[in-house]
Amino acid sequence: MGKTMDEQERHKRKAQKQKEKVDANVARAQIEKGVMIVVTGNGKGKSTSGFGTVARCVGHGYKAAVVQFIKGKWDCGERSLLEQHDVPFAVMGTGFTWNTQDRAGDIAAAESVWEQAKKFLADPQYHLVLLDELTYMLGYDYLDKQEVLDAIKNRPENQSVVVTGRGAVRELRELADTVSEVKEEKHAFKAGIKARKGVDW
């Protein structure tokens, strides 16, 4: 009985200490500005995370824009939903897929979709811009790295950016405020389970 009281007391003290820590951190965070988030790594969940953030943004009545740097499936679920909520999509229609053979064609396609991305990144009406799979464009030198970094760095102060894709280059990670590395522990595909509509796209 006495022991149980002790445990309760200890738990209470621990919780109190934790609360003080969190409160202090909350009090310390005083800067109001848009953030740059990089979600990279080999595990599943990067684009899902980016689109989740777009949903949050739109749910609060803010404007968001999406740029997809990989030739996407036409019936991407997020696109069908978000376009109904006036979220503009710039999609790489031709060119780069996962196993491309046509470098010149890929670069042209990348540059064309990047032109649209630049417009979003310069427009303060967008609270959030998702640059889905942008990492590959820098990894493969399809876009000018400095130009991309500058456009992100010089975006409107209140605009946030989410960059997704595997293998984010060092400069993207350095520029970011938040970097998450999604680690693969297992993936259904490796057990022979097909990618699923409504789950994987």
Q: Which residues contact Mg ion by CB under 5 A? A: 46-47
- Partner interacting with residue 166 (select from Mg ion, ligand ATP, none; CB below 5-8 Å by kind): ligand ATP
Q: Which residues contact 151 (CB under 8 A, 6 or more apart)?
A: 117, 118, 121, 122
- Partner interacting with residue 197 (select from Mg ion, ligand ATP, none; CB below 5-8 Å by kind): none
Which of 2/192 has CB closer to ligand ATP?
Answer: 192
The owner of tokens 């993936």 is 187
How far is the C-alpha of 167 from the C-alpha of 138, rounded, in Å?
10
- Partner interacting with residue 184 (select from Mg ion, ligand ATP, none; CB below 5-8 Å by kind): ligand ATP
Interface residues toward ligand ATP, by CB under 6 A: 42-48, 164, 166, 184, 187, 189, 195, 200-201
Which of 43/156 has CB closer to ligand ATP?
Answer: 43
- Partner interacting with residue 127 (select from Mg ion, ligand ATP, none; CB below 5-8 Å by kind): none
Q: Extract the tokens encoding 115.
A: 């032109």
**Closest by alpha carbon to 189, among 200, 198, 180, 178?**
200
Which of 46/155 has CB closer to ligand ATP?
Answer: 46
Least Å distance, CB 143 to ligand ATP, is 18
Pairing of the two strands 89-91 and 160-164: unpaired
Which of 150/201 has CB closer to ligand ATP?
Answer: 201
The burial class, CB within 10 Å (0-12 / 13-18 / 19+), for 77 is middle
